[in-house]
Amino acid sequence: MALGRKRGQFSIHSVCFYDRTNGVPISILKVLSEALIDFNAEFESLEGGSSMFPWDAEIKSLNGDVKISGREYEPNTMALLLGGDLTENAAEANGAIDEFENVKGTSIKSVANGIDAIELTALDADDLKEGKYLLVATAAGVVSLYGTSDVDFKRGTDLEFSDDTLLIEASLDVSSADVIIEELGITLSKVGTPNFTVGDTAEFYIRKPNTGSIEVEFGASGSEFSEIGIIIAGGRQSDGTIQSIELYRTKVAGMPIGFGEKAWSEWSTTIRALYDETRNAVGKYRRTHAA
């Protein structure tokens, strides 16, 4: 009888994370560079005397680490690996103003005497520029506007910082009327008689017109990292062979995010495979040869 065909493991197709409690998929990753399953053994050796080599050895443990590296930042995976909370916003054809809040003091944002809202200026969505902005009170009814990045300043009407303090516009007087900031497509809506305390600040975030957006808030006190199941699928081979490995119970945490010079961020995280008491196993390897 001739020797059988030799088989190897070729490529990676996807990694699927699933909820161990019900088996429902959490997310799938496909822009991957590797998934390395390190099941190397650790030995306990019997050593002594003049021998340069062990007299005997027993297997002490098997390493259950799995290193996954990729270039895809899938929202549910980010929330999972960072222990965060995911918010998915629906499409906003006209953009949105979000998180308008007082930072220092309470006099700028007010429902009685101050600025009660940052509004989208009618018919000016083309000038909305993504980013976080800050209002600083300089007089009883006057604020200055600062930005935090000019990454989107070329959208619509060009905008630029006035100086290195990141000032955009000084002396916005809302004491008697709303103020329209044409270059940003927003309106400071005043209520009552503004009576700001000089030095008070308030912030807000502009989202330009979009087809959807996400926010992942992480690092909260009491954040939890759940145990999950993982299925790693290899690439489909030219003869149709499919290979995969499933790990029934794992612990995972951490997802580096890189902002490099003209480069896609690549991240890697280490997953620890654990023994699953219910299945009495750690995982299962599968290979199917196409007919």
Q: What are the chain's domains? A: 14-44+53-87+218-288 (2.30.110), 96-211 (no CATH)
- Distance between CA atoms of residues 175 and 155, nearest Å: 30
Which DSSP string corresponds to 118-147? EEEPTT-GGG---EEEEEEEEETTEEEEEE
- Distance between CA atoms of residues 160 and 121, nearest Å: 20
SS3 category, 196 = coil
pLDDT, residue 2, reads 84
Find out whether 196 and 143 touch, Cβ atoms under 8 Å: yes
Return left, alpha or beta for 79; rule: phi > 0 is left, psi -120 to 50 is alpha, else beta: alpha
pLDDT in tens, the chain (291 residues): 688 888 888 899 999 999 999 999 999 999 999 999 988 899 999 999 999 999 999 999 988 899 999 999 999 999 999 999 999 999 999 999 999 999 999 999 999 999 999 999 999 999 999 999 999 999 999 999 999 999 999 999 999 999 999 999 999 999 999 999 999 999 999 999 999 999 999 999 999 999 999 999 999 988 888 899 999 999 999 999 999 999 999 999 999 999 999 999 999 999 999 999 999 999 999 999 988
Find out whether 128 and 152 touch, Cβ atoms under 8 Å: no
- Distance between CA atoms of residues 206 and 96, nearest Å: 6
Q: What residues pair up with 101 in beta bridges, in sequence order?
A: 203
pLDDT, residue 3, reads 86
- Distance between CA atoms of residues 97 and 184, nearest Å: 11
Q: Quote the strand ranges of the chain, DSSP E.
A: 14-19, 25-29, 32-38, 41-46, 56-62, 65-70, 85-89, 96-104, 114-120, 131-139, 142-147, 167-173, 179-181, 186-191, 201-207, 213-217, 228-233, 242-252, 267-273, 283-288
Burial class (CB within 10 angstroms; exposed 0-12, middle 13-18, buried 19+) of 136: buried
Report how far apart, in Å, the C-alpha atoms of 226 and of each of 17, 20, 37, 73 are: 11, 9, 20, 19
Residue 192's CB: how many other CB atoms inside 10 A?
11
pLDDT, residue 265, reads 95
Find out whether 190 and 114 touch, Cβ atoms under 8 Å: yes
What's the token pair of residue 221? 């006190």
